[in-house]
Amino acid sequence: MPKTKIPAVIATFILCMAFWVLITWNFSSQELLAGAVVSLAAALFSARFMIHGKAFWLLNPAKLFGLIYYVLIVFPVELVKANVDMAKRCFGGCKNINPGIVKVPVDLQSEYGQAMLANSITLTPGTITMEVTEEDDQTYYYVHWIDVSAPSGKEAGDAIKGALEKGVRRVFE
């Protein structure tokens, strides 16, 4: 089991505390103190599972900007495109589909990056990530795709996650 590191505890504590403040939205000192105690306890126990790498990588301005750009621009654009496409298929009588599971290569090293990309793919209508595997240092996703327009490999990968992967790479690598 990995050891608990101090920066990881601090980062987890900040995350828990921010969430407590967001949920309660009450700034009396008693509330804040209770939140701090609970957050500290939670951070001590869970920091080693939450954070494996550097704890404060988000303080790097390039990465922070990359994350904001991804969350506010890259991802919503893909989401709206996929949603409109899916809505058209649904209102068109659900006949115009060609489902299948394809295997696509992913060029991301970081664990968090892979998780974020997999979740982004699942969140866009029309694609669901079903499995993540690694073969010979190359990560592959198995993606259920509502309209298979290209067989497995690079081409399908570009169609499913082209812009998303570039955005995620800017954040984590």
Per CB under 8 A, residues contacting another protein are 19, 22-23, 25, 79-80, 83, 86-87, 89-91, 93-94, 97-103, 118-120, 122-131, 142, 144, 146, 148, 151-152
The least distance separating another protein from the CB of residue 138, rounded to whole angstroms, comes to: 14
The least distance separating another protein from the CB of residue 100, rounded to whole angstroms, comes to: 4
Q: In sequence order, what E strands does the chain have?
A: 100-106, 127-135, 138-145
> In terms of CB distance, is 110 or 152 closer to another protein?
152
Cα torsion angle, 82, 115, 74, 161, sign:
negative
Q: What is the DSSP string of 115-162?
A: HHHHHHHHHSTTEEEEEEEEETTEEEEEEEESB--S-TTHHHHHHHHH
Number of helical (H) and strand (E) elements in the chain, helices listed first? 6, 3
> In terms of CB distance, is 19 or 65 closer to another protein?
19
> In terms of CB distance, is 43 or 156 closer to another protein?
156
The least distance separating another protein from the CB of residue 167, rounded to whole angstroms, comes to: 15
Q: Are strands 100-106 and 138-145 parallel, antiparallel or unpaired?
A: antiparallel
| Phi, psi dihedral angles at 71 (to 5 degrees) | -70, -35
> In terms of CB distance, is 53 or 92 closer to another protein?
92
The least distance separating another protein from the CB of residue 57, rounded to whole angstroms, comes to: 19
The least distance separating another protein from the CB of residue 12, rounded to whole angstroms, comes to: 16
> Which helix (H) or strand (E) segment is 91 a member of?
helix 75-91
> In terms of CB distance, is 4 or 100 closer to another protein?
100
Which residue in the block uniquely carries the two structure tokens 């998780």?
115
